[in-house]
Structure 1
Amino acid sequence: MIDPERITADQLPGRTLCVNGAEFLFCSGTSYLGISRSEAFQQSLLAGFERYGTNYSSSRNSNLQLQVFTEAEDFLASYTGAEAALTMSSGYLAGQLVVQTLQNEGRFLYAPGTHPALWRSMADAPYASVPFDEWVNLMLQQAPALPERQLILVCNSLDPLKAQNYSFDWVNKLPREKQITLIVDDSHGFGVTGENGAGIYPQLRGLQGIRLVVVSSFGKAFGIPAGLILGDRQLITQLRASSCFGGASPAIPAYLYAFLHSQQLFEAAREKLFSNILYFRKRLQQPELFRFFEAYPVFYTSEEALSSYLLQNQVLISSFRYPTPADAPITRVILNSLHTTADLDRLTELINGYGAGKERLG
């Protein structure tokens, strides 16, 4: 019998996962484009390893400068429309570099659900039960009266846990007498959302009177152990001059090489993902069981029993207590680019059967 709250495997899942000799359809995780199991990407990565070795542990400020870092950052700035970009060895370190550099430049206001990568300390833990929209309204009411002239707002680009897409129309209502920096974590959007997967930056870059900073992990859609910061040139120059940046090992060069040489692969995987999302939605007989939004592969449900039901039928979805073991489980069906139509037929048949059973029980 498999413990649904602790499943151990000795391989990385793709469209399926083998557990104790049994194959499960895998509809969990954050590898939205399936890159972590892509043979084509692995070939590009091997070429990167041949050129750059397995790691480069020197400071980015050393007297040896690898060209691939500049190439990747120039590409990322062009790709997203940012003035400048900076890569780090992880999304967590990218977030910490930003908040530690800016920590004395204004009052931080954290939206609920903001990842620990953007906390300055545990005291910033923003896991409140208030919904995002309520936080926005409360913040807009309080911000004008705050004594600090500079405010630093920190939030996610979307909610990947309960599948909610955030509107940023509220930014136009911020008090103009304040100097506002908006830091957005786009880790679960970058590579999937926005034009050509460029994420939230192109949508927000035209904001008037707002200093925009976007941080992201490469580890979700792109399957790369690295982090990213997008912003204006002055900020990126400031970050480069920090001891945190100078003292940290950079992203593994071979992965950035593979990223630069896999753009067609990413585009094809994104199109396949969108096709899978549409196919799944069309076959759902009771879409009201889920919360979801357009062209995003996460389908949240309050039906915690669905996880056990699917597990009994050898389908593993995401269901675990978050952010702490004392919290209620977050249950989601998560699609990726590797799923076949046969996979989705099987998945929706089971979900439709579950929904029909609930209707019969009244």
Structure 2
Amino acid sequence: MRASLDRRRDAGLLRRHLTLDSAQGPLVRLDGREFLNFCSNDYLGLAAHPAVTEALCAAAREYGVGSGASHLVCGHSRPHQELAEALAALTGRSSVLLFSSGYAANCGVLTALLQAGDQVFEDRLNHASLLDGGLFSGARFQRFAHNDCADLARRMAGAEGAKLVVVDGVFSMDGDSAPLAQLAGLCRAEDAWLMVDDAHGIGVLGENGAGSLADAGLDTAQVPVLMATLGKALGCAGAFVAGEADLIDYLTQEARQYIYTTAMPPAVAAAALAAVRLLREEAWRRQHLADLIAYFRAGAAQLDLPVMPSTSAIQPLLVGEADAAMALSQRLRERGLLIGAIRPPTVPRGTCRLRITLTAAHDRAQVDRLLETVAAQWSAAA
């Protein structure tokens, strides 16, 4: 273990925690200092919203803290049920199953749906939880070139057995979106199912924040399996899978990561329910975020910053090598900006980046400071 750690340290790949002394928000406290935060997934600024916080506190007073058991024993409380029903209504699907994390949800779904002899096709840039779930399933696993429907079609042609295509709706490290309409058409032609992980689209995209599928105009028949998380735009924790009743009933019986895991605290479910309601009540948050994204990209283009193609809240600045990315992140931190450096194995070697994330809690003045500071440090390093 020590040798492995030494190799990571020498390669600039050793990971360390940041310990915050504040709530999530555009400004956070770290080591006694305030930083402008551009590395959170709290896309709508709901993690510390007063209504979400009060919903959690009120439910904790009524239901306590721990759920006490798995959902199928005695851990499923009224807030869990109300949240599941609200998420089904939001996504336009008949049923929802709650999971304790997105990783558990993806591994649970893939290992329950797939078996030896089946075929699973995944985008090369899928989240690690999707890749792991596909590998754990025992099905024949293939990765196709990123967002390349032609490559996927070649791989699917002549494939025998049940076929499942799995993609992210919005890719977490590049910030671009999957060509969902094309993928859905290809899956229909090949008699395959399509599963979408919409962790970074739910709450942000589509009417009422229903996510990437709503934004693409796709229904349950075209995308039978939808997974999304509660810990990003919704500002809470946990995840869910949405689909037709038979799918959810089947996963309830077969998804080991659901059956054998203690349910999320009821108070967290109540907080997430409050966040879902805010999607409709405070729609200005999505519009403000969209405006900030366009504003940032226009400014980055004027400053010749190598920002990767993305219209999402994820705006990666391509740096190259790990040491350079870490050095740039550190220089920005010295100037009061918190932006994480993303390195292998999360991204391929030579594509290290600063993963800049914008939220509805930011304002234009803060984005101006971001652009000015990043541009100055980028020029200094050139």
Deviation at 1:91, TM superposition (A): 1.4
Residue 169, structure 1, aligned to residue 181, structure 2? yes
User: SS of the counterpart of 1:36?
Assistant: coil
Distance 1:321 1:94, change over 3 A: same
Match of 2:329 in 1: 307
Deviation at 1:195, TM superposition (A): 1.7
1:89-132 Cα offsets, whole Å, 9 max, x none, are 2112211221121122831112212223233365789897x741
Match of 1:159 in 2: 171
Deviation at 1:254, TM superposition (A): 1.1
RMSD: 3.2
Match of 2:344 in 1: 322
Residue 107, structure 1, aligned to residue 119, structure 2? yes
Deviation at 1:308, TM superposition (A): 4.4
Match of 1:259 in 2: 272
Structure 1 window deviating more from structure 2 (282-291 vs 216-225): it is 282-291
AA paired with 1:232? E
Match of 2:25 in 1: 14
1:44-70 Cα offsets, whole Å, 9 max, x none, are 211121122112132322368532222
Q: Partners in 2 of 1:123 and 1:247 — Cα distance?
A: 17
**Residue among 302, 310, 315 paired with 1:293:** 310
Match of 1:350 in 2: 373
User: SS of the counterpart of 1:85?
Assistant: strand
Whether the 8 Å CA contact 2:313–2:358 is kept in 1: the answer is yes
Q: Partners in 2 of 1:217 and 1:63 — Cα distance?
A: 23
Whether the 8 Å CA contact 1:60–1:250 is kept in 2: the answer is yes
Match of 2:4 in 1: none
Q: Partners in 1 of 2:129 and 2:166 — Cα distance?
A: 11
User: SS of the counterpart of 1:35?
Assistant: coil
Match of 1:239 in 2: 251
User: SS of the counterpart of 1:94?
Assistant: helix
Q: Partners in 2 of 1:121 and 1:338 — Cα distance?
A: 36
Whether the 8 Å CA contact 2:38–2:339 is kept in 1: the answer is yes
AA paired with 1:47? A
AA paired with 1:9? T
Q: Partners in 1 of 2:347 and 2:318 — Cα distance?
A: 17
Q: Give the gaps of 5 or more residues in structure 2.
A: 1-11, 320-324
For 1:74-153, list aligned pairs within 5 A.
Answer: 74-104=85-115, 106-118=118-130, 119-120=132-133, 122=135, 131-134=145-148, 136-148=149-161, 150-153=162-165
Deviation at 1:28, TM superposition (A): 0.7
Q: Partners in 1 of 2:314 and 2:348 — Cα distance?
A: 23
Q: Quick one: percent identity of the two aligned structures?
A: 24
1:292-350 Cα offsets, whole Å, 9 max, x none, are 433x2221121346534423422121212133598442322211222233322221222
- The two structures have a TM-score, normalised by structure 1, of 0.84
Deviation at 1:257, TM superposition (A): 1.4
Q: Partners in 2 of 1:14 and 1:316 — Cα distance?
A: 12
Whether the 8 Å CA contact 2:236–2:271 is kept in 1: the answer is no
Q: Give the gaps of 5 or more residues in structure 1.
A: none
- The two structures have a TM-score, normalised by structure 2, of 0.80
Structure 1 window deviating more from structure 2 (139-148 vs 242-251): it is 242-251
Distance 1:230 1:322, change over 3 A: farther
Whether the 8 Å CA contact 1:77–1:230 is kept in 2: the answer is yes
Deviation at 1:238, TM superposition (A): 0.8
Distance 1:23 1:109, change over 3 A: same
User: SS of the counterpart of 2:73?
Assistant: coil
1:2-59 Cα offsets, whole Å, 9 max, x none, are x997463242542223333332211112121222233442122111211221121323
Distance 1:127 1:219, change over 3 A: farther
Match of 2:360 in 1: 337
AA paired with 1:293? S
Deviation at 1:175, TM superposition (A): 6.5
Match of 1:71 in 2: 82
Match of 1:27 in 2: 38
AA paired with 1:38? H
Q: Partners in 1 of 2:159 and 2:34 — Cα distance?
A: 56
Match of 1:273 in 2: 289
Distance 1:176 1:214, change over 3 A: closer
Whether the 8 Å CA contact 2:220–2:244 is kept in 1: the answer is no
Whether the 8 Å CA contact 2:43–2:360 is kept in 1: the answer is yes
Q: Partners in 1 of 2:219 and 2:158 — Cα distance?
A: 26
